[in-house]
Amino acid sequence: MFLQFVARRLMLMLLVLFGITLITFVVSHVVPADPVAAYVGSQAPQGVVEKVRHEYGLDQPLPEQYLVYLGGLLRGDLGTSIHDDRPVATDIATYFPATFELAMAAMVIAIVLGLPIGVIVATRKDKLVDHMARALSLTGVSLPVFFLALLLLAVFYVKLGVLPGPGELSPYTQPPPRVTGMMLVDTLLAGDLPAFQDAFSHLVLPAFVLGFATTGIIVRMTRSSMIEALRQDFVRTARAKGVGRYRVVVVHALRNAMIPTVTVIGLAFGSLLSGAVLTETIFSWPGLGRYATESVVTLDIPAIMGVTIVAAFTYSVVNLVVDVAYALLDPRITY
């Protein structure tokens, strides 16, 4: 049954990905602009534009271009970027690890802060700490990312000087050889502890900024489902049996309250990947968000499609993992 469920979900995922390629392709071509105009620049003679357009196959009919693209995709080829003339897969492999590292760090911060705070305020409903947490969550959700980013940079970097500025490493730090593309991992692999420390401190602010909104959501979601769970009969029974408060809250209530929270975490991961665009711009983070922005500005259709497919794929996989996690959390759920 379980395998059948996973297989069905994978089939659905393929369908979703196919739909996404079609929509992205159509939307990209509706824009009355020519990616070649961006590639050759504003000055190249007209003959160059026509030559390059032909070399990229952009003078072919649209359905044919789409079929060629799809054919390539089935062979695992994401096409060639019109902006930098490199395989899109190579570009994505270049930029994705930095975003992944940032999103994972943001996720860790959001979970490590959000879950305990959510649990605490649920046990202290309508007390001062609850109101404070509510204000914090609301701020997290409603504060624009770029504002928070600039604010924190101004305070912790410019004024206090306790955290470093934009970038993955200080300009004077020799970067490690690229292995995974994730700076924390690569500095560790190189055995370069000062560089690791530098990379770690560079990650703190952007990860916090990116994870702040998610922290707010997790706090609110954990709080409400915990309050719900703490009212349940089994909690009262457990207390009546004399089970310790800590065990009641963490083992009995929290585990049951986790399902909505896990759903939110799964959904949040998608928004972390997309929210990374602004954070990456302000923190000069060499990630996929920056690549995506550049692709849209230059109307680099293969790159736009590639980024969309990768984002959709990651999102689908995370949500599949979330669905599988339900069964682990709640044995009553079967597939």
Cβ distance to another protein smaller for residue 56 or 69:
56
Chain centre distance of CA 106: 9
Between the two ends of the chain, the Cα-to-Cα distance in Å is: 6
Q: Determine if 241 is a binding residue for another protein (CB under 8 A).
A: no
114-153 mask for another protein (x: CB under 8 A)? Answer: --xx-xx--xx-------------------------x--x
Q: Determine if 167 is a binding residue for another protein (CB under 8 A).
A: yes
DSSP string, 239-300: HHTT--HHHIIIIIIIHHHHHHHHHHHHHHHHHHHHHHHHHHHHTT--SHHHHHHHHHHTT-
Site for another protein in 22-61 (CB under 8 A): 31-35, 37-49, 52, 55-56
Q: Determine if 158 is a binding residue for another protein (CB under 8 A).
A: yes
Provide, rounded to whole angstroms, the least separation between the CB of residue 1 and another protein.
Answer: 38
Site for another protein in 315-334 (CB under 8 A): none
Please select the residue that binds another protein; options are 60, 94, 224, 263, rule is CB under 8 A. Answer: 94
Provide, rounded to whole angstroms, the least separation between the CB of residue 254 and another protein.
Answer: 11
Site for another protein in 181-200 (CB under 8 A): 197-198, 200
Q: Determine if 96 is a binding residue for another protein (CB under 8 A).
A: no
Provide, rounded to whole angstroms, the least separation between the CB of residue 326 and another protein.
Answer: 25
Q: How far apart are CA 327 and CA 71, in angstroms?
A: 37
The answer to whether 154 touches 257, Cβ cutoff 8 Å, is no
Choose the binding region for another protein from 17-25, 93-101, 302-310, 322-330 (rule: CB under 8 A): 93-101
Please select the residue that binds another protein; options are 97, 140, 216, 286, rule is CB under 8 A. Answer: 286
State the alpha helices, DSSP H only, in the chain.
2-30, 35-40, 46-55, 62-74, 88-123, 128-142, 145-152, 183-189, 193-230, 233-240, 245-247, 255-282, 288-297, 301-329
Cβ distance to another protein smaller for residue 48 or 189:
48
Q: How far apart are CA 197 and CA 97, in angstroms?
A: 19
Task: For residue 56, give Cα distances in angstroms to 25, 278, 309, 326.
Answer: 15, 31, 21, 46
